[in-house]
Chain A
Amino acid sequence: MDNKYDIAIIGTGPAGLSAAINSKIRNKSIILFGIRDLSNKLVKAPKINNYLGFYDFTGQQLKDQFQKHIDYMNIDIVTEKINAVYAMGSYFTLMVNEKMYEAKSVIIATGMEHTKSLKGEEEFLGRGVGYCATCDAPLYRGKTVTIIGYNKEAEEEANYVAELTNKLYYVPMYEGNYSIKENIEIVKDKPVEIRGEDRVKDIVMKNKDIATDGVFILKDSVAPNQLVPGIEMQNGHIKVDIDMKTNIQGCFAAGDCVGKPYQYIKAAGQGQIAALNAVAYLDSLK
């Protein structure tokens, strides 16, 4: 017995939770990564009538039912954000900044990010554009960096990066009070395009341009092919077969991240398929 989890599940929406309960029923050691609210999309839903067995429910009520279910099964949520999942061959390494976890199989249930990528974002990825400021900050020692933050957590990363860089711009994509250090310049403007030649040179905003060496875009979740390097995509979704297998052995995916329709019970069903096939995969390793 080693210290690797049997199954690591990333995401606490219906797909991830259904994968978690089914893995637990099959007596596998699991680790579940997500948020305390389970799913931001779920708690925002005003009325749900298409989840079999639960009708006339608000999203919040359905969330409470899901929470009771996982509590009953003694399933805990680890509220850490996974930056990357590396397929090492016979196992997976999951990175949370400097910390890491190991699992024999992985189920990706991260949902869909609805915000579109910026013009130039994909073109300059790895050439000035990044999604994990704390990971790549040492590359920008003494340089100018811009962080485009979509949530409060981005502020913490900005405060850390500001210790290394010469100049840091923070572009908040949300309203609120920003608890960031004094030497960080807040830019309340809308980013339009990232430009450069070899590497990033500047960001075009609605009202002005900012010269910058690096741009970090910090959202709730990164695109699956950033999260799992080497995973095969199809039309913006993770490519899976009918068993919810991806192109990487031992890596499964379920829910919105594998394609439409974006519905709760479809996600839960796929989470179950993914879990059962992950169990079959684990058994085949013995």
Chain B
Amino acid sequence: MVQEIKDVDFTKTLEEASTPIVVDFWASWCGPCKMLAPVIDEISEELDDKVKFLKLNVDENPVTSTQYRVASIPTVMVFKGGKVVDTLVGFRPKEAIKGVIEKHI
């Protein structure tokens, strides 16, 4: 399952996580983001328990998107131990994204 995250909870959620975290940066007007959402949903079902999946709306949460310098969406970031360990900019096929995430499990 992919949970919605906001600026206020972001740092705390990162610090408290015991698993890798995947964050999907998106916005409602972004076509490729809409395409990516069901792909991320599917991956989150398959990697349930092993990875936490979050999505962050860049229009509503400028603090986090600025802090992590998101300049183009969709951007998918993988966090481990509170740090960014991988960044994917733009749409990618399911297997490509899953492969990148699995490296960090």
Contacts and interface: CB of A to CB of B under 8 A. Distances in A.
B70 to A, nearest CB: 10
B89 A87 contact: no
B32 A86 contact: yes
B81 interface: no
B31 A127 contact: no
Contacts of A248: 93
A198 B69 contact: yes
A93 B35 contact: yes
A84 interface: yes
A183 B98 CA distance: 46
A86 B91 contact: yes
Contacts of A81: none
Residue in A87, A98, A138, A248 with the greatest tally of chain B CB atoms within 10 Å: A87
Interface in B65-105: 69, 71-72, 89-94, 96
B72 A127 contact: yes
A98 B89 CA distance: 21
Interface residues of A, number: 18
A199 interface: yes
B4 interface: no
Nearest to A95: B31
B71 A88 contact: no
Contacts of A198: 69, 71
A142 interface: no
| Nearest 10 Cβ contacts at the A-B interface | A126-B72, A87-B93, A229-B91, A230-B93, A86-B35, A89-B94, A230-B92, A138-B29, A127-B71, A230-B96
Interface of B: 29, 31-32, 35-36, 38-39, 42, 69, 71-72, 89-94, 96
21 contacts: A86-B32, A86-B35, A86-B36, A86-B93, A87-B94, A88-B35, A89-B42, A89-B93, A95-B31, A98-B31, A127-B71, A135-B31, A135-B32, A138-B29, A198-B71, A229-B32, A229-B90, A229-B93, A230-B91, A230-B93, A230-B96
Interface of A: 84, 86-89, 93, 95, 98, 126-128, 135, 138, 198-199, 229-230, 248
